[in-house]
């Protein structure tokens, strides 16, 4: 199985590019349906593993067995990698060796049913109704001076935050939204999610009104000659708005540190608290697996227990 002592060095340390026998480039090309961020992360994970294995004399995937993979994950844990990171690396290895098996590069899949520590299970932060009011309806308007650009910025910020909470969008989906995806008359937004999957999400009247106000009264104020005409949201430079711009909006509006994803978490949890079916919420969020959506049932249970303890006379 190779030199055990050589495997004790950090898998994240710099090393030579893995041999062509691993064909990581081919795997990355086959992974084209995933997001760019996922492809980069998986490639990095596989390069690190191949480099680590090579130090122990393993030069190709055909000489990797299940024991080596288990030792690798255990070794990552001893190096204090976060459990979520180890779980992702295990997922990358499972995907890679399944691909190798299908390509005939290996005879059997050593990563089949490879287990890894589950993520730490922290519950998503759910915003209170008071916090949501502070975000969506700031008490001190930034456009009080009457400046056209300030008013446009306020209209954009309100529209973006209303849409994040009304439709439970990912930040990347919000930033990538095009005019063709808006149907304000039907109260429907069409977005492209992970894996280039398209879905339609209903929005309420207040979100539709905020979007309409921004598009009619604010968009042209922030637009420049180079601005992408199809983009719904623009930043101060007239470019398509990005995740950092969304973070700045929330930092301006929220009195306490709040992650943009908290609006998506709150959307899902509030729907479930209101009695929505889990599979409906799965569809609205664009989750391919119901298991991904089930984390929000834990959030709801926590809140139900909290309400019960705070209101039942014998609790």
Which residues carry out catalysis? Answer: 170, 194, 261, 264, 287, 296
Contact predicate 91/45, CB 8 Å: no
Q: At what angle do helices 261-273 and 295-311 cross, to 10 degrees?
A: 60
State the distance between the two ends of the chain, measured CA to CA, in whole angstroms: 58
Structure tokens given for 3: 């030199």
Cα-based distances in Å from 205 to 20, 166, 191, 213: 56, 10, 18, 12
10 Å Cβ neighbour count for 170? 18
Helix extents (H) in the chain: 24-30, 36-54, 66-78, 83-103, 129-136, 148-167, 171-175, 205-213, 219-222, 243-253, 261-273, 278-285, 290-293, 295-311
Q: What span, in angstroms and rounded, lies between the C-alpha atoms of 218 and 226? A: 17
């Amino acid at each position: 199985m190779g030199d055990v002592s050589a495997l004790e060095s950090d898998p994240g340390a710099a090393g030579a590019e893995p041999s062509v026998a691993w064909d990581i480039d081919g795997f990355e090309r086959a992974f084209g349906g995933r997001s760019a961020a996922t492809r980069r992360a998986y490639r990095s994970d596989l390069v690190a593993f191949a480099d680590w294995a090579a130090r122990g004399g393993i030069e190709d995937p055909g000489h990797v067995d299940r024991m080596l993979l288990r030792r690798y994950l255990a070794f990552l844990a001893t190096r204090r990698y976060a459990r979520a990171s180890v779980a992702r690396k295990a997922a990358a290895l499972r995907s890679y060796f399944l691909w190798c098996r299908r390509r005939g590069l290996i005879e059997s899949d050593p990563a089949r049913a490879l287990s890894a520590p589950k993520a730490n299970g922290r519950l998503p932060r759910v915003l209170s109704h008071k916090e949501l009011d502070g975000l969506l309806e700031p008490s001190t308007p930034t456009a009080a001076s009457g400046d056209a650009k300030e008013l446009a910025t306020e209209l954009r910020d309100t529209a973006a935050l209303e849409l994040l909470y009304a439709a439970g969008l990912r930040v990347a989906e919000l930033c990538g939204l095009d005019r063709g995806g808006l149907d304000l008359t039907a109260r429907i937004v069409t977005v492209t999610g992970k894996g280039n999957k398209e879905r339609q999400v209903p929005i309420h009247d207040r979100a539709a009104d905020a979007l309409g106000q921004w598009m009619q009264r604010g968009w042209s104020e922030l637009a420049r000659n180079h601005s992408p005409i199809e983009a719904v949201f623009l930043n101060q430079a007239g470019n398509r708005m990005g995740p950092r711009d969304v973070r700045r909006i929330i930092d301006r509006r929220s009195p306490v540190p709040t992650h943009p994803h908290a609006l998506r978490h709150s959307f899902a949890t509030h729907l479930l608290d209101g009695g929505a079916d889990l599979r409906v919420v799965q569809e609205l969020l664009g989750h391919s697996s119901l298991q991904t959506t089930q984390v929000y049932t834990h959030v709801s249970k926590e809140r139900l227990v909290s309400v019960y303890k705070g209101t039942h006379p014998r609790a």
